[in-house]
A and B are shown apart, each in its own frame.
Chain A
Amino acid sequence: MTSNVGSAYSRPPLTLWDRINPVRMIGELSETRYWMYLLLIPSALLITAVVIYPTLYGMQMSFREMRLNRPDLGTGWVGLKHYQRMLTDPIFWVSLRNTAVWVTSAIALEFLIGLIAALTLNRNLPGSKVLAVLILLPYFLPNVVAGHMWALMLDPRLGVINDLLVKIGWLEGYKAWFADPSTAMAAAIVVEAWHSFPFFTLLILAGLKGIPSDLYKAADIDGAGPFAQLRLITLPMLKTIIAAAVILRVIGLVNSPDLLLILTSGGPGRSTQVLSLYAFQTAYKDFNFGYAGALSVVMFILLMGFAWAYVRLSKVNED
């Protein structure tokens, strides 16, 4: 038996078919360093078509007059007119303030409940698997379904929540939660927190599984109690995951007006009006796409600024 080890492999000469065979050409290309970029082209095209192009188009729309029901005004360049209008638009400032309250409160509540749920599930108590599914159920519901469900549960005439609260003596009579500006936002925040806390639960639970148990054993030996362990081991080890979860939820909350659209439509009297809802209504009720574009650009800039600031302040990159 002869061995070819150590001897140079000599290729047979290429036939005409070999030179034009596309399958062979792709095979050769897959061995080059350009193959990786070629594989990315379809995804890049898709992202350009559905993300980059609409974003840039929306930005350029914010510098134009675009009122769909006023074709007589044309679609010409108006520069910073919409941004100047924003500075003196009282609804913009109310919406901005409400957005800050909405996002901060909802995220804080979701994180707190999500952390408690994750810590509980991590203890692997009997029935944890069933409990895990039940805890995740709210997150599976579309926002629209969750909104309608809670609107019925909190109904001032027929709502089961009102009925329970009256029966246990917490309320004297049925309450119109979404008709009172002092409770409308709070009620909406509770609904949002109920719906989205499983997101934090999932991510934090995954993070908890990655924390070595030796750290907790060592802490036990040193006499650290549960809260000290939570503060000095658990939370620092979850820093990156918490930062990612918070940033993703903030982006999701700022950008989606659907829950508030279902529950209050921004009322009563704009007490639950947020920026995304205002932009949506400006576009699809007032047909003023130029101004709506400007509102969207401002939201985009605020979100970018928040993400940058949050990453810096949470020192996620310092590990």
Chain B
Amino acid sequence: MTTRFDRRSVLKMGGGLLAASALLPKQAFAQQTAINYWHTFTSQSEFAGLEDVMKLFAAAHPDIAVTQENIPNPEFMAKITAAVVSGSRPDSTMVSSERVADLVAMGGLTDLTDRIAAWERRGDFDDSRFASITKDGKVYGIPAFTFVDWMYYRKDWFDEAGLAPPTTYAEFRDAAIKLTDPAKGRFGFGMRGGAGGQSYVINIMEGFGAKLIQDDGSISLDRDKAIEAVDWWSGLLIKDGAVPPSAPNDGFRQIMEAFQTGQTAMLWHHTGSFQDNSKLLKAGVEFATAAIPAGPVNRVSRLGYAYNTVTKPETIDASWEWIKFWGEPDAAVAFLEKTGYFPASTVAAQDERISGNPLYKPAADTLGFGIPAPSFAGFAGWSESVVLPAFQRVLIKEATPEQAVDEMIDGLAQAIA
């Protein structure tokens, strides 16, 4: 007997298979909650660190499956804004300090005040760690790790020139000029005038006394002090020639490459690039670390925190387990060992694996005097869309420091209007 395979029997079989397949996934994955996590890690060391943390988490929480998704830093706010507006937000997200105000304002983060207050590890963290993630008394995330700004310098070049690492802006400029040798293709400092350079401009302005947030909480910029700062900072290129001519377009990749390939003598960044630099240069021999030099008025070394937050309230239980896991000492140290990012937890930062390494001392010292970046709604947009282009115009000699600062002041007024 033969069976005739006609169109109707094929359709019936297809319908049956479809109905069966709709049931199967629910059966297979019913035991695990899946959450996705957005982050802005880009380097291999950061990914390696994240992988280690995810492995430790998977071992501790086999009922929660975390899928990580990298969003490049410059595009992060565009993506998260679109996700929040369209209702397709991720379950959990890494957020840096300067973005918190904008995300809270647009309703992108979930209030975790009660959970954090009841968290058994809350006491491991100094209260100041939560300052940037707290708005109107509500806490929206847990600090995952710390961006501690510090300086990398070519110890071998400094020893060759008989120089000590600079501790003030004046010593820094002097060292940059002395270590510049165009014949050898060397420049004293790798200035970040491209993407991301706006934070340096703001830090230098603050170092010269032009704070953004005044003591009474108002937001303004001291014109004269800001002009002095912009003139000094741009002077490193325009007057001293102590930075590469590519500075107006140099972003993260360019300043790192310049330092790692022996073009620049000093680099200002944070501890997160320590492992990457160590792969190409010998730590303690070819390069060493130092605290960011002090300005004439203020010592501005930024302490920023990357916070892990819950962005989708529907999966808050699983996401909460994920974000608080980063506060565990083992997770924090595993991440540090792969990247160099300091733990945000005070208890984890005292771990022997950190306190016993002399190269980490400048970062540990900075924890004592470091200050957070300014944070208010509109700050990120103003700094990126106004401060950076205005400063670039000074670097390419299309504007004077006075014109640039006036543009910054006008832009600031519009941003907070």
The answer to whether the Cβ of B228 comes within 8 Å of any Cβ in the partner chain is no
Tell whether, in the assembled complex, residue A265 and residue B248 are in contact, meaning their CB atoms are under 8 Å apart.
Answer: no
* Known A158-B257, A265-B74, A270-B393; 4 more pairs at CB < 8 Å: A68-B105, A176-B248, A283-B81, A285-B381
A266 to B390, CA, bound (A): 12
Q: Which of B19-27, B292-300, B395-403 contacts A (4 or more CB under 8 A)?
A: B395-403
Tell whether, in the assembled complex, residue A286 and residue B385 are in contact, meaning their CB atoms are under 8 Å apart.
Answer: yes
B interface footprint on A282-303 (CB within 8 Å = 1, 0 otherwise):
1111111000000000000000
Q: Which of A157, A184, A285, A288 contacts B263 (CB 8 A)?
A: A157
* Chain B at the A interface: SS class: helix
A285 to B380, CA, bound (A): 7
CB-CB nearest in chain B for A286? B381
Tell whether, in the assembled complex, residue B248 and residue A268 are in contact, meaning their CB atoms are under 8 Å apart.
Answer: yes
11 A-B pairs within 8 Å (CB atoms) are namely A68-B102, A70-B105, A71-B105, A179-B248, A266-B389, A268-B395, A270-B389, A281-B385, A285-B77, A286-B378, A288-B381
In the complex, chain B residues whose CB is within 8 Å of the CB of A179? 193-194, 245-250, 396
B interface footprint on A265-280 (CB within 8 Å = 1, 0 otherwise):
1111111010000001
The answer to whether the Cβ of B64 comes within 8 Å of any Cβ in the partner chain is no
Tell whether, in the assembled complex, residue B249 and residue A178 are in contact, meaning their CB atoms are under 8 Å apart.
Answer: yes
Q: Which of B105, B106, B244, B393 contacts A156 (CB 8 A)?
A: B244
Measured CB to CB, the residues of A under 8 A from B are 68-71, 155-158, 176, 178-181, 184, 264-271, 273, 280-288
In the complex, chain B residues whose CB is within 8 Å of the CB of A269? 248, 389-390, 392-393, 395-396, 398-399
The answer to whether the Cβ of B273 comes within 8 Å of any Cβ in the partner chain is no
The answer to whether the Cβ of B101 comes within 8 Å of any Cβ in the partner chain is yes
Tell whether, in the assembled complex, residue A265 and residue B246 are in contact, meaning their CB atoms are under 8 Å apart.
Answer: no
> How many chain B residues touch A (Cβ–Cβ < 8 Å)?
43
Q: Given the known inter-chain contacts A268-B395, A268-B396, please indicate yes or no for A158 contacting B105, CB distance below 8 A.
A: no
A231 to B395, CA, bound (A): 47
Q: Given the known inter-chain contacts A68-B105, A69-B377, please indicate yes or no for A267 contacting B246, CB distance below 8 A.
A: no
Tell whether, in the assembled complex, residue B384 and residue A285 are in contact, meaning their CB atoms are under 8 Å apart.
Answer: yes
Measured CB to CB, the residues of B under 8 A from A are 74, 77-78, 81-82, 85, 101-102, 105-107, 193-195, 244-250, 254, 257-258, 261, 263, 377-378, 380-382, 384-385, 388-390, 392-393, 395-396, 398-399, 415
A-B contact count (CB 8 A): 115
A265 to B78, CA, bound (A): 14
In the complex, chain A residues whose CB is within 8 Å of the CB of B102? 68-69, 287
Q: Which of B85, B101, B105, B396 contacts A271 (CB 8 A)?
A: B396
In the complex, chain B residues whose CB is within 8 Å of the CB of A71? 105-107
A160 to B393, CA, bound (A): 28
A157 to B261, CA, bound (A): 9
A134 to B197, CA, bound (A): 39
Tell whether, in the assembled complex, residue B248 and residue A157 are in contact, meaning their CB atoms are under 8 Å apart.
Answer: no
Q: Given the known inter-chain contacts A68-B85, A157-B257, A287-B106, please indicate yes or no for A176 contacting B392, CB distance below 8 A.
A: no
CB-CB nearest in chain A for B104? A69
Chain B: minimal CB distance from A248 (Å) = 26
